[in-house]
């Protein structure tokens, strides 16, 4: 009879240790789950960096590859020459691109406007720099060089706006 009481007490002790271990492992599992959810649910605001990267890419492409043409049929194809994905500007409404080419007297030679045209206004607002809802924009300007026929120097302006809050789309 004494042996049975000792066995019952031993099993009760093992069971209580099992319950404590289960409780501690449950708390650890819940904390790991909360940590993972917190880490992956945070938004990364990459709009400003994204706009800066793409405007630099377009500026470099214009400087190296822009050619002057009198034929309106053979206009500069920014998608083909600069390797930019045309689908970005047609569907999502997250991007805006404005490129203008002008001479030193500010006479417009060529202009490209793509994407969400409302960003044309938003990019000019001072409030868009601190807003969480408005796009972040990058402004670049540069010199294209000389037209071989007229020997005139030309300049360009690039404005790229991004309202993409997380992840890079294929540019």
pLDDT band at 74 (very low <50, low <70, confident <90, very high): low
Half-sphere exposure of 107 (CA within 13 A, CB side): 4
Q: Which two tokens stand for residue 139?
A: 């402004």
pLDDT of residue 26: 96
Q: How far apart are CA 29 and CA 25, in angstroms?
A: 6
Q: Which two tokens stand for residue 11?
A: 């099993």
For 5-61, the pLDDT digits (tens) are: 656 666 777 888 889 999 999 999 999 999 998 887 766 678 888 889 888 988 888
For 87-124, the pLDDT digits (tens) are: 877 777 788 899 888 888 888 888 888 888 888 888 87
Structural domain boundaries in the chain: 1-42, 47-162
The model's pTM: 0.66
Element housing 30 (H / E): helix 2-41
Which of 65, 47, 67 has its CA nearest to residue 165?
47
Alpha helices of 42-156 — where are they, by DSSP H?
47-65, 78-82, 119-122
């Amino acid at each position: 009879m004494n042996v049975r009481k000792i066995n019952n007490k031993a099993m009760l002790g093992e069971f209580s240790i099992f319950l404590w271990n289960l409780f501690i492992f449950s708390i650890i599992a819940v904390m790991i789950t909360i940590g993972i959810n917190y880490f992956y649910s945070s938004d990364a605001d990459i709009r400003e960096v994204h706009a800066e990267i793409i405007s630099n890419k377009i500026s470099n492409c214009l400087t190296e590859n822009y050619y002057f043409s009198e034929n309106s049929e053979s206009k500069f194809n920014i998608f083909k020459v600069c390797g930019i994905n045309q689908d970005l500007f047609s569907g999502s409404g997250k991007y805006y691109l404005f490129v203008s080419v002008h001479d030193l007297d500010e006479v417009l030679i060529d202009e490209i406007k793509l994407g969400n045209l409302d960003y044309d206004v938003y990019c000019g607002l001072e409030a868009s720099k601190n807003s969480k809802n408005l796009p972040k924009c990058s402004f670049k300007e540069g010199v294209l060089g000389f037209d071989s026929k007229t020997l005139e120097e030309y300049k360009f302006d690039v404005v790229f706006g991004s309202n993409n809050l997380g992840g890079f789309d294929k540019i």
